[in-house]
Amino acid sequence: MSRPYDVLARIRSNRPAPEQAGERCEMCSEPIRDEHQHVVNVDGRQLMCVCRACYLLFTDNHADLRYRAVPDRYLAFDGFALDRRAWEALQIPVGVAFFFTNSALERTVAFYPGPAGATESQLDMDAWNAIRGADSRVGLLVDDVEALLVRVPEARTGSADAESCEPQTYLVPIDACYEFVGRLRMLWRGFDGGQEARAFIDSFFSDIQARAKNVPPGTPP
């Protein structure tokens, strides 16, 4: 007669090994590393975590696809055509925002960070089109997957030398923007974000500056 302990031991030995914990590709369910790539669900306006094989299926920017791979391109737009009046015309209530073209909506949308995460701004299209027309580098952005990330110095909000303060302007992957606002949301304290949030913003933009390739004014799309 088998003892209860022996029965329990046999049950345990026959169990399949537990699956390893961690993220999985949202398309094929293969395990993926912490540092992985993303695709955009264009219709659902969602980022999806994917493995390398699935990512490569959607890298053709000219194909009419429901999903688009997010590239890993960082460009710096020094001397960008954005002055105080142009920024105020965009009606962004804070000094940081990102802009990208949503192909499903067939228009450019704007988001800014805050305590609730990414908040969409009602973008004044006349103001945006004026900026787009003044700087050809905006045309380098790939719809849905790349964004124009802008940080406007605080001096623009009212100081006498506001016109001379140049914004920090970069072309970045769209997933970098959502990572930025997500981490900032966790650090946000009080009305203006607090010291820790401001330090994170400084660090984030320093990292982008270090990895971005400069594209001079007048570069055609």
Are the CB atoms for 138 and 132 separated by under 8 Å? yes
Q: Are residues 66 and 84 in the same domain?
A: no
DSSP state, 42?
T
pLDDT, one tens digit per residue, over 143-183 is 999 999 999 987 444 444 445 568 999 999 999 999 999 99
**Element of type H or E holding 76:** strand 75-76
Residue 85 inside a domain? The answer is yes
Answer for the pair 30, 51: CB distance below 8 angstroms, yes or no: yes
Residue spans of alpha helices (H) in 91-124? none
Q: Which domain holds residue 143?
A: 75-214
Q: What is the pTM of this model?
A: 0.84
In this structure, are 112 and 144 located in the same domain? yes
Contact 123, 109 (CB under 8 A): yes
Cβ contact 40:70 at 8 Å: yes
Number of domains in the chain: 2
Q: Is residue 219 assigned to a domain?
A: no
CB-based contacts of 216, cutoff 8 Å, min separation 6: 78, 79
pLDDT tens digits for range 203-221: 999 999 999 999 999 898 8
At residue 10, the pLDDT reads: 53
Q: Is residue 93 part of a domain?
A: yes
